[in-house]
Amino acid sequence: MVEKIVEEMRPFFDPKAVAIIGATNKKGKVGNVIFENFKMNKERGIFKGNIYPVNPKLDEIEGYKVYKSVKELPDDTDLAVISIPAPFVPATMKDIAEKGIKSVIIITGGFGELGEEGKKLEREIYEIAKANGIRVIGPNCVGVYVPDTGVDTVFLPESKMDRPKSGPIAFVTQSGAFAAAMLDWAAGAGIGIGKMVSYGNKLDVDDADLMDYFIHDEGINVVTFYIEGVKDGRKFIEAAKRITKVKPVIALKSGRTEYGAKAASSHTGSLAGADTIYDAVFKQTGVIRAEDFEHMFDLAKAFAALKDKLPKGDRIGIITDGGGAGVMASDAVAKFGLKMADLSEETLKYLKENFPPHAVAGNPTDVVGDTDAERYRIAIEGFVNDPNVDAIVVIVLFQVPLLEEEKIIDILAEYQKKSNKPIVAVAMGGKKTDHYARILEDKGVPVYPTPERGVRALAGLVKYAEYLRRGA
């Protein structure tokens, strides 16, 4: 089974040759943007496969030979990307079946989401795919984005939408628009995405298939889902149980309300179902439910950096150079069901001996506004060595005058590396703070803009660690 799912999915993420059915030389059209994406990535040396545009009306696009039909395609074609009008897709699928291509991404919309006529077309496509062992992503989607291999079927050009760098987060979504917006946002936020899959109406490849695939994907540490509805609940549950034993899964499930469920139905034809059922399924399978988009990526960022350093318990230590921020973090600890760690007598003694009299040794420990980086080092050293502390939140207000920015960044990165306890940082501020936060994240310390978001992300790590300790 392992080999089967990996082999079936491989062409979607790393094809030997891609056929772009509906490729065109008309700038801005879907078939042109997808062709340009592959062409640019090939010129950059990222996409290593062959590119075969297909259009019966053209002979050549920008130096590439255009094939008149699928039947003429070279035999190494293992991925077809379809962007032609919906009524022509079933006939094209028959040609794809005859050609022996086993992986198809159908970008085209106008299927099940539009009603019975569209559902009939979907059934026709599904029967062809099923009878010929073809796996299908879509229809009504933006497809796949893999920065490491140069696969990019997102039909929004780079001039309008930035692509994120590579990273250990997989993102799976029904909504294509959400996928595009998320990729653009992730690029700006410096968050690395290893694989993005937008599957639209989920005719064939679904959440469960992708979870089974990502179990074996060594480049992915955490899998995030935006879900509007699950068609095969049992299949989802079984796959979720398998992957959460190995990797964390975070789900943002929309359609929680009556209005949202109705919108989901008209969007991708999904049956959103009772929200309480999803809550129960996520709890049973260890899937962590995100409250919103922000929460999902706060969690993903924490897991991407700290998956191999999960907390052994729920006792949180807080270090801050601002008293108010420390209070906010303490409130968040209670709000998200965690506990404030009771520092050991040894730790308190160590802090008091090494701090100036006006600094506060305790939990939170307040190194106060005249701190330098070394005072932070003392505090972190004490917390790391204290057996009563399971995880640490370090709030750094970079604005304080005596704090050497590069030095505190190096200290945090050093302890993140050598300690077996997870450390998340909180940095509140503007452009200068964002600059230092980005450097800190590049060194492996997840950074959050508010104490509440930092503690909430840590709560996700605690929750997943508890799930694993219970025996998954």
Every domain of the chain and the residues it spans: 308-471
Q: What SS3 class is residue 79?
A: strand
The mean-pLDDT minimum among 86-100, 126-140, 247-261, 360-374 falls in: 247-261
Which pLDDT score, from 0 to 100, does residue 329 have?
98
pTM, entire model = 0.91
- The answer to whether 212 and 243 have CB atoms below 8 angstroms apart is yes
Query: Cα torsion for 359, 361, 367, 370, to the nearest 10°?
Result: 10
Chosen CATH of 308-471 out of 3.40.250.10, 3.40.50.261, 3.30.70.380, 2.160.20.70: 3.40.50.261
Strand blocks (E) in 367-467: 391-395, 423-426, 447-448
What is the rounded average pLDDT for all residues in the chain?
94
As a whole number of angstroms, the distance between CA 408 and CA 365 comes to 16
CB atoms within 10 A of CB 218: 6
Tell whether the model's pLDDT for residue 39 goes beyond 70: yes
Categorize the per-residue pLDDT at 265 as very low, low, confident or very high, splitting at 50, 70 and 90.
Answer: low
- List, in order, residues 6 or more apart from 160 with CB less than 8 Å away: none
Which pLDDT score, from 0 to 100, does residue 74 have?
98
Tell whether the model's pLDDT for residue 270 goes beyond 80: no
Tell whether the model's pLDDT for residue 267 goes beyond 90: no
Section 336-354 average pLDDT:
98
Q: pLDDT tens-digit profile of 393-425?
A: 999 999 999 999 999 999 999 999 999 999 999
> Which contiguous run of DSSP H or E holds residue 39?
helix 30-43
Query: Cα torsion for 404, 407, 412, 413, to the nearest 10°?
Result: 140
